[in-house]
Amino acid sequence: MEFKSINPYSDKVIDTHKGMSDKDIEKSIEKSYRAYKSWKRKGIEERVKLLTSLSENLKENVDNYAQIITQEMGKVLTESRAEVNKCASLCDYYASYAEEHLADEGVSTEASYSAVQYQPLGIILGVMPWNYPFWQVMRFAIPALAAGNSVLIKHASNVFSCAKAIESLFVLSDAPEGLFQSLTIDGKTVEKVIASPMVEAVSFTGSTQVGSKIATLAGKYIKKSVLELGGSDPFIVLSDADIEKAVEVGVRARMQNAGQSCIAAKRFIIMADVADDFMDAARAKVASLKIGNPMEEGVQMGPMARQDLVYSLNEQLSESLMKGAGLIAGGKIEGNIFHPTLLKSITPEMPVFYEETFGPMMSVCTVESEKEAIDFANMSDFGLGASIWTSDLDKAKALSRKIEAGNVFVNAKVTSHPKLPFGGVKSSGYGRELSSFGIKEFTNIQSLWID
């Protein structure tokens, strides 16, 4: 089997990757197991040394890695650079905090000493998506490695050049052989890896449909799993919000990465008395976005990552227009570029409301009350993030508790931060990444009792 990397802007094949045989996979798993056995015995200083080296090498080679990302999946260069730099800050964060997060926690009981201690688990498999091809891999791998595990990655088939580049980054940073390996395999072959008795757990980031399959496999082989799945984040604008800022941030939150972000604002829920102001400003902002070749400086949005993704988004648009949505801007397709699109009058019966739209599609509906806004926000199978815009911060805090989502941001776009746990509820998945919660996901949380 051979995999092709296709530049989504030029449609040209830029690299090919030979698929691994069953024998190759077995060898990689065995190598990973040997690396784990030795890595788990190393002290935290040794692990921190690797994280520091990874961070330095990411920063030194930011332009090189950014170009690989942009050429392979089409995000604009400034966003690719930001992604690489974010990976470096993640390494810095765990270099500073891993020891504290993994420290034994004494517990007062009837024992002479009792405590909780965090031990590594073994080989952890990461099955990862293409949309943030460096960040998603590192967000999973760095805390897992800092906790003393070894890591295998099955990256998305359209970004195997990025996978190769990350593997080389680990070599450049003097990681022990086999500690981090990328498997050049397709989705169907993932079961073989999960089934291996040497693999202890799986972390999946991707669609809800595939996430359900991974969870089924994890259950079948009794392996721990974390699922980071899709989202249809609400962006709620109340009457007392700063509309100018809400539009500015809202358009960015929707159009970043050509709309291909799990935590992009997807359903804009606007109070009726400010809806006209919001729409007028949003229309101007969407129309002003510079689209084109993502390798050119100044371009704000490039192509979507694959042709099939363009088609799926277009189907969601067509069906929603048939059901009464109003097209205010965009809706045009050129190659793999989907022009930034603004829709009004969307309803819960339309795919743009009840499905995840993974592209530059800003879908707006209006509501008459705050209660209706929260009801609409929660009227979704997903529960990843939500953004609330209001100048009344006490109200915002109270409303945040009514939102069914793993992340609520007030007067800001939803984002991930190394110091805060990240993850979803409902069909957006389970488990948490980042912060102290993320590093503990792939540990054996061991109780110790000494009498």
Closer to ligand NAP by CB, 130 or 170: give it: 130
Closer to ligand NAP by CB, 124 or 127: give it: 127
384 scored as a contact of ligand NAP (CB under 6 A) = yes
Q: Which stretch binds ligand NAP (CB under 6 A): 12-20, 102-110, 125-133, 235-243?
A: 125-133
**Hey, which residues does 344 pair with through a beta bridge?**
326
Interface with ligand NAP in residues 320-359 (CB under 6 A): 356, 358
Closer to ligand NAP by CB, 147 or 263: give it: 263
Cα distances from 292 to residues 53, 58, 120, 264, 310, in angstroms, run 35, 27, 46, 21, 15
Interface with ligand NAP in residues 186-215 (CB under 6 A): 186-188, 190, 205-207, 210, 213-214
**Backbone region of residue 365 per phi and psi (left: phi > 0; alpha: psi in -120 to 50; beta: other values):** beta
204-230: b (≥16 Cβ within 10 Å) or e:
bbbebebbebbbebbeeeebbbbbbbb
**Hey, which residues does 364 pair with through a beta bridge?**
268
Closer to ligand NAP by CB, 128 or 271: give it: 128
As a whole number of angstroms, the distance between CA 414 and CA 14 comes to 33
Active site residue 228: yes
As a whole number of angstroms, the distance between CA 69 and CA 162 comes to 6
Applying CB under 6 A, which of residues 230, 250, 340, 383 lies at the interface with ligand NAP?
230
Interface with ligand NAP in residues 244-303 (CB under 6 A): 262
As a whole number of angstroms, the distance between CA 156 and CA 158 comes to 6
Applying CB under 6 A, which of residues 28, 53, 71, 131 lies at the interface with ligand NAP?
131
Q: How wide is the angle at C-alpha 308 spanned by C-alphas 265 and 207, nearest 5°?
A: 50
Query: CB of 189: closest distance to ligand NAP in angstroms?
Result: 8
Secondary structure of residue 125 in the 3-state scheme: strand
228 scored as a contact of ligand NAP (CB under 6 A) = yes
Query: CB of 346: closest distance to ligand NAP in angstroms?
Result: 19
Secondary structure of residue 336 in the 3-state scheme: coil
Q: Which secondary structure element, helix H or strand E, spans residue 124, and what is its range?
A: strand 123-127
Compute, in degrees rounded to 10, the torsion defined by CA atoms 376, 380, 385, 389.
-10
Secondary structure of residue 75 in the 3-state scheme: coil
Closer to ligand NAP by CB, 187 or 331: give it: 187
Helix count and strand count (H, E) for the chain? 15, 22
Query: CB of 233: closest distance to ligand NAP in angstroms?
Result: 10
Active site residue 110: no
Query: CB of 223: closest distance to ligand NAP in angstroms?
Result: 13
Q: Which stretch binds ligand NAP (CB under 6 A): 23-31, 171-179, 228-236, 290-298?
A: 228-236
β strands within 206-277, DSSP E: 224-228, 233-237, 265-271
179 scored as a contact of ligand NAP (CB under 6 A) = no
Closer to ligand NAP by CB, 352 or 396: give it: 352
Quote the distance between the C-alpha of residue 155 and its chain's center: 13
Applying CB under 6 A, which of residues 9, 130, 134, 180 lies at the interface with ligand NAP?
130
Is the torsion defined by CA of 53, 58, 61, 64 positive or negative?
Answer: positive
Which of 72, 79, 83, 228 is the catalytic position? Answer: 228
Closer to ligand NAP by CB, 262 or 329: give it: 262
Which of 262, 356, 365, 441 is the catalytic position? Answer: 262
Interface with ligand NAP in residues 136-175 (CB under 6 A): 136, 154-157
As a whole number of angstroms, the distance between CA 156 and CA 136 comes to 11
Is the torsion defined by CA of 421, 313, 375, 366 positive or negative?
Answer: positive
Size of site (CB under 6 A) for ligand NAP: 30
Query: CB of 93: closest distance to ligand NAP in angstroms?
Result: 17
Query: CB of 199: closest distance to ligand NAP in angstroms?
Result: 13
Closer to ligand NAP by CB, 92 or 356: give it: 356
Catalytic residues: 228, 262
Applying CB under 6 A, the residues found at the interface with ligand NAP are 127-131, 136, 154-157, 186-188, 190, 205-207, 210, 213-214, 228-231, 262, 356, 358, 384, 424, 429
